[in-house]
Amino acid sequence: MRAWLVCLLLVLAAACGKKPADSGTAGSGAPPTDDEAAREQARFDAERRPDKVVEAMGIKPGSVVADIGAGSGLLTVHLARAVAPNGTVVATDVDGAVLELLGQRLKAAGLSNVVKTRVVGADTPGLEPNTYDAILLAEVDHYITDAPAWLREASKALKPGGKIVISNRIYHKAQSMASAKKAGLVLLSETAPVPTHFIAVFGVPESK
């Protein structure tokens, strides 16, 4: 009786041990499948309306754009399409690993040649002066320790007539607007294409 019980327990333990491995390949740390990536992109596009961000930025083929805190590239891919084939998107982030995911997304979309990735410090723009037609901060400006100082430094990277565009959740709007004003930026337009987010477009006074 005791031997039979021990055998039964061993069989059950072996079965339980197999369950995590058999439960699917999309567990923690596994790269998303093409279908998963497509669903993630579709959900993002429906909820955030990135087309409206691109429209607000006023970018076109040949534009040079910086995507700050680009993450895995859900928005970057839209910027890349807008500036292709002869424009450039510089996608920055503090995390090199997440930029590798961005690279995979852009490769799948056939846009790798349009985007350059760059790891930067948390509180430094890391952008070349007098280079960019637009600089986008999407859901990222509230993480910057001294946002006004960062924005002042980033404005040096703009070409004449360039824009800094901030898109974030509505409850960050007051903070974003205050930071931009303190940095000396001029509000050019403001929209709310979805109930949860705003898009604010800022210019730099000519005296700067």
CATH code (residue 129): 3.40.50.150
In a domain, 94, yes or no: yes
Domain that residue 128 falls in: 34-203
Residue that the structure tokens 């800094």 belong to: 164
- Residue 104's contacts (CB-CB under 8 Å, 6 or more residues apart) are 31
75 assigned to some structural domain? yes
Report yes or no on 17 lying in a domain. Answer: no
Residue 184 lies in a domain: yes
Is 172 within a domain? yes
What's the pLDDT tens digit per position in 114-171? 999 999 998 999 999 999 999 999 999 999 999 999 999 999 999 999 999 999 999 9
Quick check: is 70 in a domain? yes
Higher pLDDT, 34 or 70: 70
Residue 132 in domain: yes
pLDDT at site 12: 37
Return all residues near 27 (Cβ < 8 A) that are at least 6 apart: 20
